[in-house]
């Protein structure tokens, strides 16, 4: 994998604000229904005018993100209020998340319990950005906020693009899998309707990359993602594989499907098969 890029060069629940703070991403918004937002203040949203309601919703969502981010020394600026609000709204019926398509090639189990899967992901366009913050959590937070702005109108179409899952991060390690590099890439798979002609980002540090068709070995895990848990998951996966040498040894992908602040966050570690 290119150190400065984000290609797959190997070949490829909601939470209450009282949960332990975790990394912020789109899925944090799922924790707030309109009723929950109403109950968190002194009045009812239904009793306010439409303009006041929208402004109140936006402020509360922004304050929630800011509270979560403080746990990782991340600042969420006030100008994030609009993209946060947009990602939490219906967007003319386009709010449903699209899952990245793949073909299941093999599933290995032991005593009926899944150990890992082998999947094929086809060639596709991804928007990605590489950051070099002090911690993994800071890089993924700041990276995803940049990607959020791209999704929410800061693109050549000036329109909401739609959300896909998982959001992935590319991590790089030393050959002993003991240290994670500060270079962390956050990547977003463009929805099917934008694959043929990807909208260009206003942010010149976000790159639209074509990732080649790739075979990945993937294993699910739950809980938070940080430098320690990622290293542990990489080493655990390496022990499970029959032939770990068939995979890239220094670049891995962490795929997140659910709210990182949730106590039972659903993630996957991806090993990329060598081409």
Domain residues for the domain of 67 are 48-89
Contact 57, 85 (CB under 8 A): yes
Domain assignment present for 166: yes
Domain assignment present for 5: no
Domain assignment present for 19: no
What pLDDT, on a 0 to 100 scale, did the predictor assign at position 89?
65
| Closest C-alpha among 188, 227, 225 to residue 208 | 188
What pLDDT, on a 0 to 100 scale, did the predictor assign at position 267?
93
Q: Are residues 139 and 75 in the same domain?
A: no
Contact 207, 129 (CB under 8 A): yes
Q: Retrieve residue 101's tokens.
A: 């398509």
What pLDDT, on a 0 to 100 scale, did the predictor assign at position 90?
55
Q: Retrieve residue 138's tokens.
A: 């800071």
Residue matched to tokens 């106590």: 263
Q: Which helix (H) or strand (E) holds 161?
A: none
Cis peptide before 97 (omega within 30 of 0): no
Whole-structure pTM value: 0.75
What pLDDT, on a 0 to 100 scale, did the predictor assign at position 42?
43
Q: Are residues 109 and 216 in the same domain?
A: yes
Domain assignment present for 156: yes
Q: Which helix (H) or strand (E) holds 64?
A: helix 50-70
The angle formed by the CA atoms of residues 175, 215 and 112, to the nearest 5 degrees, is 95
Q: Retrieve residue 222's tokens.
A: 């739950």
Q: Are residues 139 and 215 in the same domain?
A: yes
Taking phi over 0 as left and psi of -120 to 50 as alpha, with beta for the rest, 177 belongs to: left
Q: Are residues 73 and 107 in the same domain?
A: no
| Closest C-alpha among 246, 265, 244, 264 to residue 256 | 265
Number of domains, the chain:
2
Most confident of 49-58, 70-79, 196-205, 256-265: 196-205
Mean pLDDT across the chain? 79
Domain end marker among 39, 71, 89? 89
Domain assignment present for 39: no
201: Cβ–Cβ under 8 A, 6 or more apart, which residues? 127, 150, 154, 155, 156, 208
* Residue 90 buriedness (CB in 10 A; 0-12 / 13-18 / 19+): exposed
Q: Which helix (H) or strand (E) holds 236?
A: helix 227-240
Bridge pairing between strands 164-165 and 98-99: parallel
Pairwise pLDDT comparison (213 vs 142), residue with the higher score:
213
Q: Are residues 149 and 223 in the same domain?
A: yes
Banded pLDDT at 236 (limits 50, 70, 90) = very high
pLDDT in tens, 67-123: 776 766 777 777 777 777 777 665 555 557 899 999 999 999 999 899 999 999 999
Banded pLDDT at 31 (limits 50, 70, 90) = very low
Residue matched to tokens 């229904």: 33
Domain assignment present for 233: yes
Mean pLDDT of 258-262: 55
* CATH number of the domain to which 157 belongs: 3.20.80.10
CA distances from 160 to 87, 150, 190, 197 (A): 9, 8, 12, 15
Q: Retrieve residue 214's tokens.
A: 């790739």
Pairwise pLDDT comparison (159 vs 65), residue with the higher score:
159
Domain assignment present for 6: no
Domain assignment present for 147: yes
Residue matched to tokens 């009793």: 47
Residue 8, pLDDT above cutoff 80: no
Q: Are residues 164 and 68 in the same domain?
A: no
Q: Are residues 83 and 102 in the same domain?
A: no
Q: Retrieve residue 57's tokens.
A: 């919703």
């Amino acid at each position: 994998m290119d150190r400065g890029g984000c290609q797959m060069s190997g070949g490829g629940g909601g939470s209450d604000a009282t949960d332990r703070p975790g990394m912020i991403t789109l899925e944090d918004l799922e924790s707030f229904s309109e009723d929950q937002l109403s109950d968190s203040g002194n009045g009812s949203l239904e009793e306010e005018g439409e303009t006041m309601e929208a402004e109140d919703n936006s402020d509360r969502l922004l304050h929630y993100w800011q509270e979560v981010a403080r746990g990782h020394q991340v600042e969420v600026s006030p100008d994030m209020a609009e993209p946060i609000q947009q990602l939490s709204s219906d967007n003319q019926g386009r709010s449903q998340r699209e899952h990245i398509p793949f073909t299941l090639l093999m599933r290995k189990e032991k005593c009926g319990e899944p150990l890992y899967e082998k999947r094929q992901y086809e060639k596709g366009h991804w928007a990605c950005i590489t950051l070099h913050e002090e911690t993994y959590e800071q890089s993924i937070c700041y990276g995803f906020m940049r990607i959020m702005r791209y999704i929410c109108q800061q693109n050549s179409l000036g329109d909401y693009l739609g959300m896909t899952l998982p959001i992935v991060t590319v991590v790089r390690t030393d050959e002993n899998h003991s240290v994670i590099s500060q270079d962390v890439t956050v990547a977003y798979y463009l929805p099917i309707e934008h694959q043929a002609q990807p909208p260009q980002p206003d942010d010149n540090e976000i790159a639209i990359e074509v990732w080649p068709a790739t075979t990945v070995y993937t294993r699910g895990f739950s809980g938070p993602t940080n430098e320690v848990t990622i290293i542990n998951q990489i080493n655990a996966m390496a022990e499970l594989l029959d032939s770990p040498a068939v995979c890239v040894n220094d670049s891995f992908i962490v795929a997140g499907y659910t709210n990182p602040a949730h106590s039972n966050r659903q993630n996957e570690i991806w090993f990329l098969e060598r081409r």
